[in-house]
Amino acid sequence: RRDGKSACLNAPLPGRRLIVVRPRRTWVRYGIVSATTCWTCRKAVYGLRVAPRAWGVHRDLRIREFRWIVDETAYMMKQCRMDTQVWLIIIVGDPSTILGLLICYVDDMLLMMKDGKVQAELSKALGRLWKMSTEVKLETGKMFSFLGLELERTA
């Protein structure tokens, strides 16, 4: 399991929208900024209604284009048609062999596949693509939480 750090801050705003925001009232009250201060957003920021959608579109585009190579074999992820938050991990040119799944929800990612070179290189490559939290592996007898679910490996 990994989380994208500041995910929404990495997403471009949709279309050619001009979004102007004001500072929080508490910032003005404490003298951090003046009451007349306004900022123009260049990218999505937390609190904007469009931010989660902008991040999702951006994330999916990047994953769709994403490739990595291990021992001269190229791998990619293919978006599941039944659930667009699920990505199939496959060999480029061989969509029938599913090596694992990546489940995304906003900036939370759950990678389900066997340990090994392909998994390790995928994890490293995702870390180069986006700033990510430390990877948490599901190990026998240890639990972790994903989207409010407590997961535990029993075998």
DSSP code of residue 75:
E
Neighbours of 148 (CB within 10 A): 5
Indicate the range of 22-31, 61-70, 100-109, 125-134 predicted with least confidence: 125-134
Is 60 exceeded by the pLDDT of residue 27?
yes
Percent of the chain with pLDDT over 90: 35
At 88-147, the pLDDT tens digits run 999 999 988 899 999 888 778 888 888 899 999 998 888 888 777 777 777 777 777 777
Residue-level pLDDT at 3: 46
Residue-level pLDDT at 12: 79
Label the pairing between strands 67-70 and 73-79: antiparallel
Residue-level pLDDT at 52: 79
Q: Which residues, including other chains, have CB under 8 Å from residue 25's CB and lie 6 or more apart? A: none
Helix (H) or strand (E) holding 63: helix 51-65
Give the whole-angstrom CA distance, residue 42 versus residue 23.
16
Q: Is 37 helix (H, G, I), strand (E, B) or coil?
A: coil
Report, as an integer, the average pLDDT of 45-64. Answer: 83
Residue type, 130: W
Band (pLDDT 50/70/90 cuts) for residue 2 is: very low
